[in-house]
Chains A and B, each alone.
Chain A
Amino acid sequence: MILVKLIETLQRSMKTVLGVVWAVLALLLVWSLFVHPESAPEPAGEEGGMLASLHSVFEKWPGLWALFGFLGCCVIIYVSKAFGHAGIMVREDYYDE
């Protein structure tokens, strides 16, 4: 089957795949230096205070969204797991008697 063969090929050449992935990420970061939002940048700190200026910083440096994604992912995982292990996660038959 074509799909299985494709996955097999990708798995065999894992190193190449990873190399391509890193290259794509690097290219994206480079690209982000050249793109600008459609709407004109707002004067910072007009309404919404700190978050507004933060948003204009993000618009000025789109590469920061990469940091946002990565840190967001870490925060979500760590906070959720800490929350879960604080007594929220229980054995599967908890509700059965």
Chain B
Amino acid sequence: MNDFWLHPTLILLAGAVLLPLVPRALKRPFLLAVPVLLLARIVCMTAHQGDYGDVVFLDWHLRFGRVDGLSSVFGVIMGLMAVIGTLYGLHVKEDAQHIAAWIYVGGSVGAVYAGDFLTLFLFWEVMAFSSVFLIWFRRRPRSLGAGYRYLLVHVAGGLALLGGIVLNYQATHSWAFDHLDVAHPTAAIYLIMVGFILNAAVPPLHAWLPDAYGEATFNGSVFLCAFTTKTAVYALCRGLAGMDILVPLGVAMALYGVVYAVLENDSRRLLAYHIISQVGYMVAAAGLGTAMAINGACAHAFAHILYKGLLFMGCGSVLYMTGESRFTELGGLWRRMPWTFLFTLIGGLSISAFPLFSGFVSKSMIVAAGFEEKRYWVGFLLMLASAGTFLHTGLKVPYFIWFGKNQPRPETLARAVDPPWNMMAAMAVAAFFCIFIGCAPGLLYQLLPYKAEALAYAPYTPYHICETLLILLFTAVGFFLLLRKLTPEPLISLDLDWFYRKGGRAFLWVACHPIQAVDTFVGELYRVAGLAPLMVAARVASLFDGRVIDGAVDGLASAVRDAGRRLRSAQRGAMQESLAFTFAIAAVLLMVLVFLAHKS
């Protein structure tokens, strides 16, 4: 091992262990200090790039700290989001919730800095097993089910990843997590890809995301929306950049999320579908694999973590204050929660890539990379998805929560006020960064892995501004013209989780009906075909026993008795007479024998 190198995850793990011991008066400063330390450590590491944390375990060489351009940009944003997320949930009294969130963030940060597949897999699983608590802590029966489904899906994905890793080791004799030979994909590479794209929520492996993120606690979703999918984007950029199949998958994903967002009635599930849509851009960019595309994927992940966190914080505030997240139960809250509205709107404008907001400087890189690579359909379809993004997150979410014709129930309205100061502060910080990145993209571009290409990219050209504004504003015209058509309906939309939710139920049904029926049939068969003949047989046996055996025994006994009586009469006690009688018979028998033998 090199000189002592403090792994950033250790800060979070130490904080998680110490948190229950901290006296109540110092709890809040401590809660803030730990993620701030994490961020400071990550920023320090960014300045000293290289390989650290080498460990020899058995015969294997593990590397916990690969600090380069790609891991640093993800590390920095994860550190920043850890601060914002913890600030947002600062007033939550339950230590366990903070501990789960920190371990989850620690897993994510560890996976980003992992230099080999074994370390990656270790942190990958830490993420899955700690994040499920952020769902369970909501303590609704539905959350329990959603958490178990989340865990099962991620365990399956983890197994695919592990299988791929082991096969890859067999082929290359190396655990190193570097760029794989995506031009000649083997079974190992496909399995690793399945593990990665499951965490990135690429259809058809995506249904866990809206299922879980819509059911998590109000602050749990803020953490969840930032880390799992973005760690997967990092892994795709690192290991599978340029893998062609990712391009159509990413584009399909970007549109899939948009379609479901139209239908969705729950604001947080709508945002979850838009994660799928936005991560679609990043997956497509990873598939394109050019310097511009990878820069775009990283920049978009960076911007996305901030604005999606902000949006989840906004909708989480509404949920936390009113207890409602469904559009049909909300409406007209602008007078009651004006600041929450403003922050959510900033998040909405950022995700929609409005000029001066963060999405504008990141999303456009990916679209430009598509057109640059002459993948025109990629560019066009991703632009269509941008129109859809503005339609839902920029317009539908703010409109139907804070305006709209719907009147919420009086008790919902009475509870609706802007949330506690820490939640407001967290939203303000995220909103600040959304605008800051949008206005001064150079600072973000300096962090990107291909710095020269990034700094050469200029998002603010008159053509690009005009093009974006035209698309977005005319989408808004469409939104207001078709407002009626968009009125939320109190329904849920079936997604591919139907197969395992109903599949589980089908399994239960199979267990309850056919298997139960077979069991009953066997029982009945035993009763009818087994028990009844047995009874008949027993009755016959008893009859046989009573009549035949007893009769025979009785008969034998009486015969013996009769014979005895007769014999007794023949016995007169004279020993000699008896002997003579016996010899006489023996002599007769002997003579018969001799006669027979002679004859033959």
Interface residues of A (CB under 8 A from B): 1, 3-4, 7, 24-25, 28-29, 31-32, 35-38, 47-48, 51-52, 54-55, 62-63, 65-70, 72-81, 83-84, 87-92, 94-95
Please name all residues of chain B whose beta carbon is closer than 8 Å to the beta carbon of A1 when the two chains form the complex. Answer: 338
Q: Assuming A62-B463, A69-B471, is B477 touching A74 (CB within 8 A)?
A: no
Cβ contact within 8 Å between B467 and A76: no
Q: Assuming A36-B463, A55-B371, is B493 touching A63 (CB within 8 A)?
A: no
Cβ contact within 8 Å between A69 and B478: yes
> What are some 27 contacts across the A-B interface (CB < 8 A)?
A3-B338, A3-B341, A4-B334, A7-B335, A7-B338, A28-B469, A28-B473, A35-B462, A35-B466, A54-B380, A68-B383, A70-B475, A70-B477, A74-B478, A76-B384, A77-B391, A78-B485, A80-B260, A84-B263, A84-B493, A88-B493, A89-B491, A89-B493, A90-B492, A90-B493, A90-B494, A91-B492
- Count of residues in B whose CB is under 8 Å from the partner chain: 49
Please name all residues of chain A whose beta carbon is closer than 8 Å to the beta carbon of B148 when the two chains form the complex. Answer: none
Question: In the bound complex, how far is the Cα of B374 from the Cα of A48, in angstroms?
Answer: 6
Cβ contact within 8 Å between B388 and A72: yes
Contact of B463 among A37, A63, A95 (CB under 8 A): A37
Residue among A4, A48, A73, A91 with most chain B CB within 10 A:
A73
A79 to chain B minimum Cβ distance, whole angstroms, is 7
B355 to chain A minimum Cβ distance, whole angstroms, is 12
**6 closest Cβ pairs, A-B complex:** A73-B478, A51-B376, A80-B262, A69-B471, A69-B474, A84-B263
Please name all residues of chain A whose beta carbon is closer than 8 Å to the beta carbon of B474 when the two chains form the complex. Answer: 25, 65-70, 73
Please name all residues of chain A whose beta carbon is closer than 8 Å to the beta carbon of B478 when the two chains form the complex. Answer: 69-70, 72-74, 77
Cβ contact within 8 Å between B263 and A80: yes
Chain A, residue nearest B328 (CB):
A92
Please name all residues of chain B whose beta carbon is closer than 8 Å to the beta carbon of A76 when the two chains form the complex. Answer: 258-259, 262, 384, 387-388, 391
Please name all residues of chain B whose beta carbon is closer than 8 Å to the beta carbon of A80 when the two chains form the complex. Answer: 258-260, 262-263
Question: In the bound complex, how far is the Cα of B489 from the Cα of A35, in angstroms?
Answer: 42
Asked if B461 CB lies within 8 Å of chain A CBs, one says yes
* Residues of B460-517 whose CB lies within 8 A of A: 461-463, 466-467, 469-475, 477-479, 482, 485-486, 489-494, 501
Chain A, residue nearest B384 (CB):
A72
Contact of A95 among B335, B341, B380, B501 (CB under 8 A): B501
Question: In the bound complex, how far is the Cα of B462 from the Cα of A63, in angstroms?
Answer: 13
Asked if B433 CB lies within 8 Å of chain A CBs, one says no
Please name all residues of chain B whose beta carbon is closer than 8 Å to the beta carbon of A81 when the two chains form the complex. Answer: 262-263, 485
Please name all residues of chain A whose beta carbon is closer than 8 Å to the beta carbon of B432 when the two chains form the complex. Answer: none
Question: In the bound complex, how far is the Cα of B453 from the Cα of A24, in angstroms?
Answer: 34
Question: In the bound complex, how far is the Cα of B490 from the Cα of A63, in angstroms?
Answer: 38
Cβ contact within 8 Å between A77 and B475: no
Q: Assuming A52-B376, A54-B376, is B473 touching A69 (CB within 8 A)?
A: yes
Cβ contact within 8 Å between B470 and A62: yes
Cβ contact within 8 Å between A68 and B471: yes
Asked if B5 CB lies within 8 Å of chain A CBs, one says no
Cβ contact within 8 Å between B466 and A62: yes
Residues 369-384 of B, flagged 1 when their CB comes within 8 A of A and 0 if not, give 0010011110110011
B547 to chain A minimum Cβ distance, whole angstroms, is 59
